[in-house]
Amino acid sequence: MGDASLPKPNILLAFHLEFPASFYDEIRRRFPDAEITSLVLEPGAPLPSESARKASIIVTLGHLPCLPNLEDTGHIKFIHFFSAGLDKVIDHPILTDTEIPVTTSSGIHGPPIAEWTLLNWLAASRKFSVTYEDQKKHIWSRDLEYTKGIQDHVGKKIGILGYGSIGRQIARVAVALGATVYAFTASPKPTPSSRRDPHYIVPGTGDPDGTLPISWHHGIDKASLHAFLSLGLDHVVVCLPLTPQTTHLLGAEEFAVLAANKQPNHRNPYLTNISRGRVLDQDALIASLKSGELSGAALDVTDPEPLPEDHPLWDAPNVQISPHVSALGEEYFFRSFDIVRVNLDRSRRGEPLVNSYKRGRGY
């Protein structure tokens, strides 16, 4: 899979928005031996044959991709997506009818999403909304009025469903707060080598060797999941890909198991979802928030998206909703292109690519 036939790779960026000139200048600086071209197309539009046939690497978006027709893919070494999840394109012929390597931006989301998660945890636990509203009203209330319900995170138990790059950086932040981390994965990770992160990692972040959780758990059945949720968890963080197996994975039964096993004198469990809205049974979540079974929830994803203005989730108690923006930041696209750089070098050496999509698994 070397580049002997194309010594100067053509990296084609196909996007529905134009990047500023400074962005392209920086990308060209990082890829001095490559030809960088770009196309601004309607979301989801196919690449023109003339452009696709010149490209050796295509970079596009995961949920609004601009992809080539199959007959135009002869010189393509790999296709890279700006997103981590590919649930919007898994039925596209590029993924179903070809063996073209496909890579994702998994690994770049850990730092911003961990900060978003921490933001919501602290906003909820420190009653930020109360002090913020009082500030606008110029009210200086007595400190005893804030004490009830406020707890810090020392000694709290954090259960992370899906221990990939995002979960690992959240674990790093949680441990820094004094919490303990419990990891849950679909397949067993019994050895140190199996617990290492084989994907792209933003330098200086995450848990590359998988040493932060005090225990690892696994399974794809309800019994295994319920055993994990019975550990007395204060927080459950959902970092799972959306697949048929994970759709509505957490619902009324699971929220009841969580609440029934809460630690004495701790608040009821808090749910954080940064994966996909359909991993949760949203109606069950609303009911659980209304009953107090869950103390709150931080949701960067909903079902559907955008969330309709009249949807009852907006008014559920103790819920914090953001419009699928937890991963965003000025570093995002540069970090994604760093994965392209790593994989371009690997392609030239005939080595396996990092963040490769595994056909048949859905991620």
Q: Identify the structural domains of the chain with CATH numbers, from first to last.
A: 10-108+331-349 (3.40.50.720), 110-321 (3.40.50.720)
User: According to the model, what pLDDT value does residue 363 have?
Assistant: 62
User: According to the model, what pLDDT value does residue 278 have?
Assistant: 98
Q: Render pLDDT for 244-298 as a digit per residue (tens, 0 to 9).
A: 999 999 999 999 999 999 999 999 999 999 999 999 999 999 999 999 999 999 9
Q: Render pLDDT for 212-247 as a digit per residue (tens, 0 to 9).
A: 999 999 999 999 999 999 999 999 999 998 889 999
DSSP string, 242-254: P-TTTTT-BSHHH
User: According to the model, what pLDDT value does residue 63 have?
Assistant: 78
- Asked if residue 108 lies in contact with residue 202, where contact means CB atoms within 8 angstroms, the answer is yes
Please state whether the peptide bond connecting residue 323 to the residue before it is cis, i.e. omega within 30 degrees of 0.
no
Task: Return the exposure string of 26-58: e unless at least 16 CB atoms fall within 10 Å of the residue's CB, then b.
Answer: ebeeebeebebebbebeeeeebeeebbbebbbb
74: amino acid identity, one letter = G
The rounded distance, in Å, linking the Cα atoms of 164 and 201 is: 10
The rounded distance, in Å, linking the Cα atoms of 76 and 43 is: 21
Q: Which residues of the chain have pLDDT under 50?
A: 1-6
Q: Which of 81, 72, 71, 34 is nearest to 50 (CA)?
A: 72
The verdict on pTM exceeding 0.85 is yes
The rounded distance, in Å, linking the Cα atoms of 216 and 161 is: 11
User: According to the model, what pLDDT value does residue 362 have?
Assistant: 64
User: According to the model, what pLDDT value does residue 7 have?
Assistant: 63
